[in-house]
Structure 1
Amino acid sequence: MPAPVRSPFSRRQAAFFSVWLLLVVSVVSWRPGVLFTGGVDPVVIAKAAVGLTAVIGAVIVTRTVRRHGRVGARSLVLLLIVVAVSSVGAIAAGDATSSLVLSARIVLVTATVVVLVASGPPMLALTTLLGALGAVALVAAVTGIPELLSEGRLGGGIPDMQPNEVAGLAAPAAVALVVDLGRRGLRVGNTVLFAVFAGILFATGSRTTLVVVGIAVVLALVIAWPIPRSTTAGILVLVPIAYVLLTFTDVVEQFAVRGQSAAELASLSSRTIAWTAVLEVPFETWAKWIGVGLAVKTVTVNQRWWDSQVLDSSWVSVLAQAGVIGMALVGLWVVATTLDSLRSDRMLRSLTLPLLVLIVGRSILENGLIESSAIFALFLTISLVLEPGSEYPRPPRETAYGLLREPEPWRAGDGRPRP
């Protein structure tokens, strides 16, 4: 009798992946360019229902596992303070409703992440989340091909997303695949998938994401050194191709300029106009210190042809939404998580450190670090699995007498290999 075909995914992996998929779908844009202002419509209700389903799915998953871990409190405390400070600022600004709804969304995402992180080993939680991000990016890219043909940039079809958001979903998957290439070498699966996600990134025309991904890729290969021979051979093949593109074509120049004038490039597509408006808020005002709420996505500007500008920077957004206090706390959170990654074991560090470089580097020119977004879910997951206060029990092992020992917990940063 032939042996049964073994699925590449276990039931546990499939369960984690399914919940992550629901979470990602609930936080990505369904209507690009539409900012939430506190109203209720079918799309808002549908996204809330999908997010609530993700929470319920996470609870079901945690009830089916035999061993449960403990999640550190530092990241959650910092996040709670940032959200609380911004909520106070929103109430003071008279815009409490929409900001409180967005705070509730963050709590919903956080609850899902916490439950899943406590329900499995760190690599299980991270790899299944990365798989969900890549799956949504792939579906959005395939269904967005008509937009690529008509507009010149690849946006999402289903879900309907802007090109930069599609790039933000594809980038973590691409970096994770490079980590796998650095560990196991070139294989059909990881090589083809990396080529697909690299193509998606290039087709989106997202310059910031592509540059930061390049830095993260180099870092991933350096951490994995010495890399397998097949990966080295692949790099040697790519070097002359890159040289020809840089030297004899204008592909890179066209990608960098993207039809913009020198003034637009100098102002980072008008981003610096919005940043200046936020930075010029007087220090003697409460808005400078505690912000005006999470609902603030634009700022009033004094320009000839427009009077408002999207912030387009996670750090400037945090400064506007939660003030100097909130931005300082987020900065502390990022630094602490990065240090935790540097202190973790090599396997976890080789994945989390390049991802942190990607997330933090992209946050300078893109939103999503502290809001109900896929990037926030990824950052929170990384920070929780790395915290010294987080631990997950090892599976029981047989002794010399055939008995089972009690599982030993791993702790972030203890230097021991993890399951």
Structure 2
Amino acid sequence: MSPRVQAVLPYVIWLLVVISTVAWRMGVYYEGGADSVVLAKGVCLAVSCLMALALASSVPSNRRIAGRPFLLLVLFISISLIGSVAVGDVPSSLVLAARLILVAATVGFLLMASPGLSGLTPLLVAMAIVGLGSAMTGLPGFLNGQRLTGVLPPLRPNAIAMLCGVPAIAAAHTILRGRGTLALALSLFTLIGVVLATESRTALMGLGLGAVFLLAPLRRVSRSVAVGLLALVLAILPALLYTPALMNMVMRPGSAPLLTLNSRTLAWETVLKTPVQTWERWVGGGLPIKTVSVEGQYWETQVLDSSWMSSLAQAGVLGTVVLATWAVLLLLRTLRTASNTALPAILIFVLLRSFLENGLTEASTTFLLFFAISLMVWEPQARPGTGRDAASAPGLTRSSPAVPQLVKAPR
């Protein structure tokens, strides 16, 4: 495989993976069986995995990836499968488990071909392409006063905010380190604008907290970066202060007060009230569980809207302990070994969203990021004589001129 193909192919594969994990139908959750959309997404993901395997096979064999994330994932899936046996919903759980493992394998093959932080760049580019593309198709509705919602693909505002928010964090990290370009600055301004247009409160909090982690390691900022930050603030503040954008975001029309978390708590209470003596309490009911029945309302079911409540419903207390342990260890490891990179800010953004959005326990963009960061942060140390040096260890990067970098460590 030629070097040019090796440089371009990761972008193509990551784009296919992101497309196969975003929603193709709004408000539809997999409950078993197979239709044209399920089959098409499965084929797209399978092709991506085969292409990633071919790419990984073409690089030197001494590029290794961590095994701990795969063990933790298999443990979580195994617990959820036990729960699916207990409730009698094995076929659907097996399909979703296989899909989750296929996504993890694809991520693993891709990072084998692009070790270090450079392996995350194509994923961020793919997220920005899909997020901005979906946002552009939703512009007519946005101009009519609606929240920015995608049409092709049909993504919810929070999903668009996720796809655009993470590349924005990475772009901000590069600019703050004095390696930004005019094109990157314009991209950052566009991505932040799209996030604001979605009126996603969770994404806004995530960006704010991520900014803290980006600025904390800085010891000094160049004059051009300071001027650019001032210009960005001056451009955004009028839009927030003199337009209804901020008010619509904080108190959207028809939404309940923030402190009540609206109808989310109804679903959460149902999960938390699962009897202790039942299988569902300890091992859950399987990966297909995305909604629960609610009582005393004019609607019968409610989406869980929380990765952690979904984890309790899908894999019970045992599975949630595994996931929580995974997340805490990963966060601590990231802060310790990659504090000067964009990874801590990105991980904080992902974990914050996981409390109010689904995705961490399913084949989604959230899981893609979470698993990719796990593989990079827990990357095995180089063996003597393998030719790998400290430049490819977590927190540092040795990039190819053919691959534009959105995530870099400071020089």
TM more than 0.5: yes
From 184, 190, 196, give the equivalent of 2:190: 196
Q: SS in structure 1 opposite 2:358?
A: coil
- Contact kept, 8 Å, 2:391 with 2:397, in 1: the verdict is no
Cα root mean square deviation, aligned = 2.4
Number of equivalent positions? 397
Q: Deviations over 1:3-36 (max 9, x none)?
A: xxxxxx9543311111111111111100010111
Structure 1 residues 406, 164: closer, same or farther in 2, change over 3 A? closer
What is aligned with 2:271?
278
Answering whether residue 322 of structure 2 is matched by residue 342 of structure 1, we say no
Q: Counterparts of 1:111-260 in structure 2 under 5 Å?
A: 111-150=105-144, 152-239=146-233, 250-260=244-254
What is aligned with 1:371?
362
Q: Counterparts of 1:75-114 in structure 2 under 5 Å?
A: 75-114=69-108
Q: SS in structure 1 opposite 2:342?
A: helix
**Equivalent AA in structure 1 for residue 133 of structure 2:** V
**Stretch of structure 1 that moved more, 235-244 or 118-127:** 235-244
- Contact kept, 8 Å, 2:65 with 2:112, in 1: the verdict is yes
Q: Structure 1: state its 5+ residue gaps.
A: 1-8, 395-404
Greater CA radius of gyration, 1 or 2?
1
**Stretch of structure 1 that moved more, 356-365 or 181-190:** 181-190
**In structure 2, what is the Cα distance between the partners aligned to 1:96 and 1:66?**
40
Q: SS in structure 2 opposite 1:155?
A: coil
Structure 1 residues 225, 156: closer, same or farther in 2, change over 3 A? farther
What is aligned with 1:408?
388
Deviation at 1:66, TM superposition (A): 3.0
**In structure 2, what is the Cα distance between the partners aligned to 1:168 and 1:18?**
20
Deviation at 1:332, TM superposition (A): 0.7
- Contact kept, 8 Å, 1:51 with 1:109, in 2: the verdict is yes
From 18, 21, 26, give the equivalent of 1:27: 21
Q: SS in structure 2 opposite 1:367?
A: coil
Deviation at 1:226, TM superposition (A): 2.0
TM-score by length of 1: 0.88
**Stretch of structure 1 that moved more, 182-191 or 129-138:** 182-191
Higher RCO (CA < 8 A, seq sep 6+):
2
Q: Counterparts of 1:292-311 in structure 2 under 5 Å?
A: 292-311=285-304
**In structure 1, what is the Cα distance between the partners aligned to 2:128 and 2:7?**
15
Deviation at 1:186, TM superposition (A): 4.7
**Stretch of structure 1 that moved more, 232-241 or 107-116:** 232-241
From 325, 330, 333, give the equivalent of 2:326: 333
Answering whether residue 321 of structure 2 is matched by residue 320 of structure 1, we say no
Structure 1 residues 18, 241: closer, same or farther in 2, change over 3 A? closer
TM-score by length of 2: 0.90
Structure 1 residues 241, 56: closer, same or farther in 2, change over 3 A? closer
User: Percent of aligned positions with the same letter in both sequences?
Assistant: 37
**In structure 1, what is the Cα distance between the partners aligned to 2:21 and 2:213?**
29
Q: SS in structure 1 opposite 2:274?
A: coil
Deviation at 1:122, TM superposition (A): 1.6
- Contact kept, 8 Å, 1:343 with 1:413, in 2: the verdict is no
Deviation at 1:338, TM superposition (A): 1.2
Q: Structure 2: state its 5+ residue gaps.
A: 400-411
Answering whether residue 349 of structure 2 is matched by residue 355 of structure 1, we say no
Deviation at 1:164, TM superposition (A): 1.2
**Equivalent AA in structure 1 for residue 343 of structure 2:** T
